[in-house]
Each structure stands twice: as C-alpha cells, then as structure tokens.
Structure 1
Amino acid sequence: MGIDYSSAKKLIRHASEHGMGQRVLMLGRQRMQVKDRLVPALDRLLDELKLDMTFADLQQEDGYTETFFKALGATTVDSLDISDFEGANLIHDLNAPVPDDLPRDYDLVFDGGTTEHIFDVATCMDNLNTLLAPNGMLCACSPGNNWFAHGFYQFGPELVYGYWKHGCGFDVLDCVMLPEMPRDKELAIPDPASKGTRPRMRGKMPNQRVYLYYEVRKGAQAHRWNRALQTDYVRKWGDHEVASDKDDGEFAEMRRAQTQAASKAETS
C-alpha cells in the first residue's frame, strides 16, 4: 500500500498536533498515492494548519515518501521490508524478532498497510513495540471493511485497545474508522472498556473501503505484552467472578484496571 489522501490527511494533522519526531520508520517503503483531484483539499489543510508549504513540497520525483516525512519534521527516514524490491534500506522479516543490529529508537513508526500481510501477528506487534523509542508513536492505517483477500487479516479496534492499550500500556491518541475516499466522514471508536460492550458499527459503516486508523504512544506505563484479551470478554468474566464472590479473581482485577484506564483516558 502507500500514503493516499486519507492517510496523508491524518499524518499531516498528526505532525501539526504531536510533531513527526526526528527518526521515522516506514514499514515497507511507502509510495505517494494521492489522486490529483484531491490535492487541493490537502493544500487547504496545510494552509488551515499554518504549515508553510503546499502538497507539491511533500512529494518526490520517484513517487516514494521520504520527502513527505522530512518536510513534516523528520530528520531520518528509514524503511523496513522483507525484500529490497522497492528500495527499503532495512531488511528483516517481521515474522521473526528484530535482531540487535536494527535501530530501536524511532520516534514514529508508520504502518501504511504492512502488518496485515504478516502471519505471525503477535511477533510483528511486539517488534513494533521494540523498535519504538520511549514516547515514540505508532501510526497505522490498516485495511478494515471491504478489503477482502487483501492480506491475511483485517484488523479491528480490539487490536488498539485489547492489545496496545490494555495489553501493553500504550496511550491511545486516535482510533477511527477512516473511509478511503472523502465522501464519508471518519468515525471515532471509543475504548470498549468504557461501556463494556463492543463498538456497534451496524448502520454506520459506509459502502466503500475503510481503514482502521490509529495512533498509540509508548508512554511511561508502556511495557511488552504478556497477555492480550478481548475487552468485552474480560468484563463478562470479571462480572462472573464478582457474582461468585471472587472479587480478587484474575478477571475481576483485570476488569477494574481496564475500566480505570478507560475512565482516565476520557477525563484527560
């Protein structure tokens, strides 16, 4: 995949609100894939955010996107892939743990459509955690609805909350259903722990391809995952333990921790 209109818009806003960071890693060497008719909308966004550039300043002749990230603030832009067929400068299969000789100090890792092609999801996600510096951020634009047969998986918001937030202690900065084309609006997806139920998307999903777009930060409470469980099931199991007079049960405690984390995020 690459950086299209929707992901470019989100990354430009991210750079304006949070900064791009000095060291950026692309998963796969990303190409720019913004349709010409949508360029004026991105120019208006850059002007709205008071960024002294046009979209033309973010492009490079070979169609790749190192210039895009550097214009938005990055100093170093690397790309990691299993093959150098597109010119990635770091070669590694993310199905296997990252070796010690790969950098582990990236301020931002961008997944523009790579992780759904990697069969060993647990190892892949753990690798991304390893590659991030403290306070580093992962920005991901992963295929969601209507991408059947694109890769091994189509990820949902439970990856963001059940794994990154509650499984690894990361801060969630953004989690939305993001339409590929601008005729439909993005839809924010809250932490299921806040209500104890799964996000209900019936009647809200547009009839076009959509992404799961999310931004998570490796904050002070972040750690490597040792267990990731689906959020709404943790609530059910925890409720069962409480009803069985097991207030100190494993899932009752986990449910309380998830609820507190969700409440803290909503009030911050």
Structure 2
Amino acid sequence: MALTYHDVRPLLRARYASPPSRPLQEVVTIGRQVLALHRRDVRALADEFGPDVLGPWADRPYGAYADAFLREALGVIQLDVLDASDYEGATVLHDLNRPLPAELTQRFDAVIDGGTLEHVFDVPAALRAYMGMLRVGGSLFLSTPANNLCGHGFYQLSPELMHRVFVAERGFRANHVALVEAVYPGIELRPARRAVAVVDPDAVAERVTLTGRRPMMLLVQAEKLVHHEDPFAEPPQQSDYAARWREGRGHELRSSRRRVPLSVRAVVRGWRQRRNGSLSNKRFYRPLP
C-alpha cells in the first residue's frame, strides 16, 4: 500500500482548505502506508501548497513508511494502522471481512486506504467498516484498481459502485470520484499521470464505461454527513437498471431497417463504445479540480 501524488494531494487539500475542513486529528490507515512521491510530484505539491508543506519529506519522499509524514504534514495527533495481521506493526488488528467492533465505530476523523480494498474478499463489509469508523464530518480517502490490473487483487472496481455507495441516503457525500492513469504493474513506479473526475452515471442516464491500454486507478474522497448503523440496509442498485425498473421498460434488441449485416453493426457498435469509454469523452470524464 502506497500514497502517491494523487493520494497525498487531496489529504493536503483537506488539511489546508480555506476555510479549514475538519482537522484530521485521529486517523487510521488501512494497512501501513508507504510514501511514494517522485521528485516531479514533490515540485507539483510545492507549487500548489507552498515550498515548506512537505518539510523534511521533500528530500526523502519515496519508499519510507508514511506515518511520520502524516503526522507532520497533516497535523495528525493519533495515527492508527489497521490490518488483519501485525506483521507490519499494525496497532489495530481487524479482518475487514468481519463485522466492525463497537470500539472502532465513529472513532476517526479520516480513514485512508491506499490500496487494500481490492484484496478484501467481502468488499461490502469493508466499505461498511470504512463508513462506520468515521465520525460525522470525517472523510474517507480511497484508492483501488479500476482497470487493466487483473490479478493484482480479488477485484477491479467501478466508479458506478462508488457513486451508488457514497450518497446522502447512506449518510455520505462523494466530493470526488476520479480515475488516474498508471503504469504496469503499479502506480507508484512513475510520477503522476493525468487524473479525471468521473461523472455519475445516473446524471447522464448512461453507463459510464472505460477503455484503454494503461492501468487505471479509482480514487474516492467522501465525507460523512450522518451516521447509519447499516448504510446498506437498502443495497445499492446499478443506476441504469434502477431507471428501467422505475419506468417499467424492458431492453429490446433493435433490428436494422436497412438490413445491415450483424458483423458490420458489431464493428460500428464496438467503435462507438470504445469512443465513449475513452478519457477524451468529456461527457463522462472531466478535469479533476
């Protein structure tokens, strides 16, 4: 698990926001995080937040555990590390496949997952735990594979899932759901590539698809508005299906009036889907603030 430029930037923005957001005084990282900033990343952060924001970490930004950085750069007072094993010095032992213990409920101002969720078999249980550990007003910072990293973990996850999970009826607001281009086999190996915000599929009434040759990481920052004991008491549903159910319409295969051969229609449809799934599609993908 590693904190790259696109993980560190929203943390610094939360810390130095004007007006200030809730102080990140009590924080838990999911797994022990390593700092993975390259020199170009350091320069970009210095340009945005000031030359002193990284402090001594500007000279040693890559490869060390991020504990001290989180305390010094973010003002974290109490930092815990949650893991299923203590092999990396975790302070809180908990298997995210299991129900969240009562003593961890509403305990933290921030939950930081820099690459654990895809390795947990029971993803809903893990998300429920992340949501439960936060105090009202706290924030989740999450990074997980979205595409072209098959085999890295159990799963690659969709932006649609995050847009359906972090909504007001579950007590959350998604401040951003984004995709970041990466290099194989891990995003920490090179300086930051481009990032784009992903539109909510429900807002465009269409599936927001993704194509491309490079690995893609999914980044989420979500704020807790209200505490629910079980935010998934009513489970999320994919937006396009939910719309069809509400409208009472089915899905029918359309026949071509011009009798275009099926093979030609398949090629055209495939080309359209690749075009829609490209990061250049501004209906789906927009500049990340």
RMSD over equivalenced CA pairs, Å: 2.7
Q: Choose from 21, 24, 27 the match for 1:21.
A: 24
Shift of 1:44: 2.3
Contact 2:108 / 2:134 at 8 angstroms: preserved in 1?
yes
**Corresponding residue number in structure 1 for 2:3:** 3
**Count of residues in correspondence between the two structures:** 236
Task: Name the counterpart of 1:33.
Answer: 36
C-alpha distance in structure 2 between counterparts of 1:69 and 1:60, whole Å: 12
Counterpart for residue 64 of structure 1? 65
- Higher mean displacement: 98-107 or 78-87: 98-107
Q: 1:237 aligns with which of 237, 240, 245?
A: 245
Task: Pick from 225, 231, 245 the counterpart of residue 232 of structure 2.
Answer: 225
8 Å Cα contact 1:6-1:179 kept in structure 2: no
2:77 is aligned with what amino acid? T
Alignment correspondent of 1:179: 181
Identity within the alignment, %: 31
Distance of 1:128 and 1:86 partners within structure 2: 20
1:209 aligns with 2:218: no
Code of the aligned partner of 1:43: A
Q: Report 1:84-123 matches (<5 A).
A: 84-102=86-104, 104-123=106-125
Q: Give the letter for the 1:189 counterpart.
A: V
Residue identity in the other structure for 1:99: P
Code of the residue aligned with 1:217 in structure 2: it is: E
Q: Deviations over 1:135-176 (max 9, x none)?
A: 211110111222121100111112211122266241110111
Check the 8 A contact 1:60/1:67 in 2, yes or no.
Answer: no
Partner of 1:193: 202
Q: What residue is the counterpart of 2:285 in the other structure?
A: none
Q: Which residue of 1 aligns with 2:146?
A: 144
CA offset at residue 192 of structure 1?
Answer: 1.5
Distance 1:108 1:5 in 2: 18
Residue from 152, 163, 166 that aligns with 1:164 = 166
The offset of 1:237, in angstroms, is 1.2
Unaligned runs of 5+ in 1: 242-268
Cα distance in 2 for residues equivalent to 1:34 and 1:52: 15
Residues of 1 paired with 2:192 and 2:109: CA distance?
A: 32
Contact 1:28 1:81 in 2 (8 A): yes
Aligned partner of residue 237 in structure 1, secondary structure = helix
**Residues 81/198 of structure 1: CA separation in 2 closer, same or farther (3 Å cut):** same
**Which residue pairs with 1:250 in the alignment?**
none
Distance 2:204 2:41 in 1: 37
Moved more, 224-233 or 28-37: 28-37
Return closer, same or farther for 1:40/1:106 CA change in 2, 3 Å cut-off.
same
TM-score, normalised to structure 1's length?
Answer: 0.78
Distance 1:159 1:232 in 2: 12
- Displacement of 1:99 in angstroms is 1.7
Q: Quote how far apart the aligned CAs of 1:39 are.
A: 2.7
Bigger Cα Rg: 2
What is the SS of the residue equivalent to 1:101?
A: helix
What amino acid is aligned across from residue 114 of structure 1 in structure 2?
T
Superposed CA deviations along residues 55-93 of structure 1, whole A, max 9, x for unmatched, are 534769981112222221221111100011111111110
Instruction: Please give the alpha-carbon distance, in whole angstroms, between the structure 1 residues aligned to 2:80 and 2:91.
Output: 6
1:104: Cα distance to partner? 3.0
Alignment gaps of 5+ in structure 2: 183-189, 250-289
Post-superposition CA distance 1:1-35 (Å, at most 9, x none): 21123322332233333455211110001011223
**Counterpart of 2:46?**
43
> Which residue in the other structure is 2:257 paired with?
none
* Letter of the 2:47 counterpart: R
2:12 aligned partner: 12
Letter in 1 for 2:56: A
